[in-house]
Amino acid sequence: MKKIWKEPKYNDDLLKRAEEISRKFNISNLVSRIIAKKNLTDEEIKVFLSPTRYDFHDPYLMPDMEKALDRIQKAITNNEKITIYGDYDVDGITSVSILKKFFKDINIETDVYIPNRLSEGYGLNNEAIEKIGQNKTNLIITVDCGITSINEVEKAKSLNMDVIITDHHEPGEKIPDAIAVIDCKRDDSKYPFRELAGCGVAFKLTQGISKRLNLEENLSLKNLDLACIGTISDIVPLVDENRTIAKLGLMLVNKTKNIGLKELINQTKYKKIESETVSFGLSPRINASGRMGHQEDALDLFLTNDPIRARELAKKLEDYNLQRQEIEKRIFDEATKMVDEDNEEKKCIVLGNENWHHGIIGIVSSKITEKYYKPSILICFEGEDAKGSGRSINGFDLHKAVENCKDDLTACGGHSMAVGVSLKTSKFKKFKSDFEKYADKEITDDMLNKIINIDEIVTKKDMSIDAINDLKKLEPYGEGNKKTLILYKNLKINSIRTLTDGKHLKLLLEDDGTNIDAMGFGMGMLADSYKIGDKIDIVGNIEINSYNGYNKIQLIITDLRKSILQ
């Protein structure tokens, strides 16, 4: 894998706009340059930096919102039984929790149903609908699923149940014949933002119900902490309304009144929750319950009002996550060994094994793709049947690739960067061969070069504590608003060593008399490639390292090279 650094380009208009932003909003030149590239108006910058509860879009603009509210109001008036049907990942769990808690706050009891990942898979299924029907449900409200469930909606209707779909995934050519289908990705949607997560759509539904029933605004806003966690975890773009949900929600998360969420935060040992601690601390623990087939524990955690029960459930999620990590490491080690032992140089990676856990192979596929920078699909054999998960690289449409091999599969779904597949174990070799042939034809050598898109080139004048602290105004970070990746050139190595038995790289660098600390996590193997006195260029992130009340600027290295200026 070849890494190519793509440096940012500046022009006079951009620099002039950056100066204007810096002056108007009293922010550093570094941060103003980053914001200038987003091409936002002054009003949009104001919302970007400091959104308020008045910056949410009108929920009535969402497709079929009025139809959904009519049916929900009828169900409330007639005391009908409502079942909320969700998904087993973080987005789904938080979506169900938001709706369930909101209804409970207005004295409406609802049932919930979340399919088991291992035995039922994603989305609506006919067996589940039959169970819900036997429980005398009149109305099913889906969250984070349902937009492609044509047959399942017909099944529900045949059992005299109405269905309201709330989803955020791409619709097919036809949408289900439900009472209402709230999805901003519908072609006829007039909603000003189409990238909400499932929990965002569920939150908007509670806003709509609040307006319809003339309820206090706080009844919907109080669940922004859960909407924030689901939104960040689902890796939707953190722009527009998603950013408002995430930024306001993080404020609520840090003083949450949700007993279960508070206990989960205690398990992570984090003192403050930010977007990155959601992604790497809370999200894996919530997801682990679904991956291990215990999705109901994560849901119960967010719904319980019993502190003792909350503590027990948070500990369970912690244990599930530890199990998940052990299984993930084993599968990753086995997969990398299989790749490294394969003498053929291929443009993609397709692996199969009967001892792999199909709830976890998606995470491993992502790590394999990151390590080798090639599209990968990992498949676990379960007797005659097999299930797989894949991740892609920029420029290669993975969904189109598996669709090209659909004769080898019993089912497939996903999008350009991530897919899920099902097939007969006996068809694995044929699928592997067909997929490799397609990839060999469609993937160019240039696509296998990892492009590192650098946001900013910094110099010594940017490296003040105040300027780096200003970067926090760009949070929360996520898709569409990534953590700023900087390039710092011509730094002299004054000290170089490894930490943690050679695993990590620790550098003391100098720029014209100013010392700067740098850490390269997992880069210990590079220590022998550099020596004291070398001049290097570094790509990475800048942060403030606080220790014993003393603040120091630190670079977190993504990549480095010997400087061409020395």
pLDDT tens for 395-421 read 999 999 999 999 999 988 777 888 889
Selection from 556, 554, 515 nearest residue 539 by Cα:
556
* Residues 169 and 213 placed together within one structural domain of the fold: yes
| DSSP string covering 427-461 | GHHHHHHHHHHHHHHH--TGGGSEEEE--EEE-GG
What confidence tier does 298 reach under pLDDT thresholds 50, 70, 90?
A: very high
CATH assignment of the domain containing 378:
3.10.310.30
Residue 127 lies in a domain: yes
* Residues 173 and 223 placed together within one structural domain of the fold: yes
CATH assignment of the domain containing 172:
3.90.1640.30
Instruction: State both tokens at 174.
Output: 């036809």
CA-CA distance, 8 to 2, in Å (whole number)?
A: 19
pLDDT tens for 506-565 read 999 999 999 999 999 999 999 999 999 999 999 999 998 887 778 889 999 999 999 976
Q: 435-453 as b/e, with b when 16 or more CB fall inside 10 Å?
A: bbebbeebbeeebbeeeee
Residue 380 lies in a domain: yes
pLDDT tens for 53-89 read 999 999 999 999 999 999 999 999 999 999 999 999 9
Instruction: State both tokens at 320.
Output: 């599930």
Dihedral class, residue 160 (left if φ above 0, else alpha if ψ from -120 to 50, else beta) = left
Residue 429 lies in a domain: yes
Q: What residue ranges in 108-228 does DSSP mark as E strands?
A: 111-113, 139-143, 162-166, 180-182
Question: Helices in 269-360 by DSSP H: which ranges?
Answer: 275-277, 283-291, 295-303, 307-341
Per the structure, the count of domains in the chain is 3
Q: For residue 381, list its beta bridge partners.
A: 386
CA distances from 424 to 354, 382, 406 (A): 13, 9, 12
CA-CA distance, 24 to 466, in Å (whole number)?
A: 17
Looking at 450, 482, 498, which one is the last position of a domain? 450
* Residues 29 and 147 placed together within one structural domain of the fold: no
Residue 389 lies in a domain: yes
Q: Which amino acid is residue 332, in one-letter code?
A: F
User: Token pair 């429980």 is at which residue?
Assistant: 135
* Residues 76 and 157 placed together within one structural domain of the fold: yes
Residue 308 lies in a domain: no
Q: Is the peptide bond before 51 cis (omega within 30 degrees of 0)?
A: no
* Residues 18 and 148 placed together within one structural domain of the fold: no
Question: Helices in 383-506 by DSSP H: which ranges?
Answer: 398-404, 428-442, 465-470
pLDDT tens for 262-278 read 999 999 988 889 999 99
pLDDT (0 to 100) of residue 350? 97
pLDDT (0 to 100) of residue 566? 52
Domain that holds residue 108: 55-235
The model's pTM is 0.90
Instruction: State both tokens at 373.
Output: 């920078």
Average pLDDT of the residues in 436-447: 95
Residue 326 lies in a domain: no
CATH assignment of the domain containing 20:
2.40.50.460
Residue 320 lies in a domain: no
Cβ neighbours for 550, distance < 8 A, ≥ 6 positions apart: none
CA-CA distance, 516 to 489, in Å (whole number)?
A: 13
pLDDT (0 to 100) of residue 545? 85
CA-CA distance, 415 to 149, in Å (whole number)?
A: 17
DSSP 478: B
